[in-house]
Amino acid sequence: MNKINNQSGKAIFRKADVSDARQCEELVQAAVEAFGSVDYCFNNAGISGESNPVADLSIEGWNKTIRVNLNSVFYCMKYQIAQMLKQGNGAIVNNSSILGAVGFANASSYVAAKHGVIGLTQSAAIEYSKNGIRVNAIGPGFINTPLLTKAGIDDKVKKSIVMLHPIGRLGKSAEVAELVFWLTSDKASFVTGGYYAVDGGYLAN
């Protein structure tokens, strides 16, 4: 935020729990108050969730992951799209995952939520493309962020994960951001309802 403001741009920060619909609505309202419109949105909040096979997964663990990783995308989109309909245009990118396209052991709540994000994205694109609103989803592979550490992935496990990516390394946040920037830009004006992997070849295996 400071970097944007220091370069003659304008940015604001608003802390919110996106698993709470009311706070998602307030986020959109705050953006409109600050900037006059909501032109581009990237719905990116997520947690790794409880690591257990289905029969051992706690009800609380399941519900928490679904709330944060799927419900939050719906809540944000609901209010983002309502504002974009007033404007007559807008672009939304939802962060799914490679695990929105395939399964992964001991991560059923995460996998289910990320599959749901893709379905939600496609449905919204069908419903609102005629209104000038584009909606797409991206599927990052394993990205080298603090989330991996929080998920309890040590160096040994990380090496095994790297081997799942034909490119031979984990992804970088900036590489994911480039795809988001393109999807929200006018260069992607005919692109909607899609799911785009940025995964170092993970899904090609």
By annotation, the residues acting in catalysis are 110
Query: Which residue pairs from 116-121 have beta carbons closer than 8 angstroms and sit at least 24 positions apart in sequence?
Result: 116/66, 116/70, 117/69, 117/70, 117/73, 118/195, 120/70, 120/73, 120/74, 120/77, 120/94, 121/94, 121/96, 121/193, 121/195
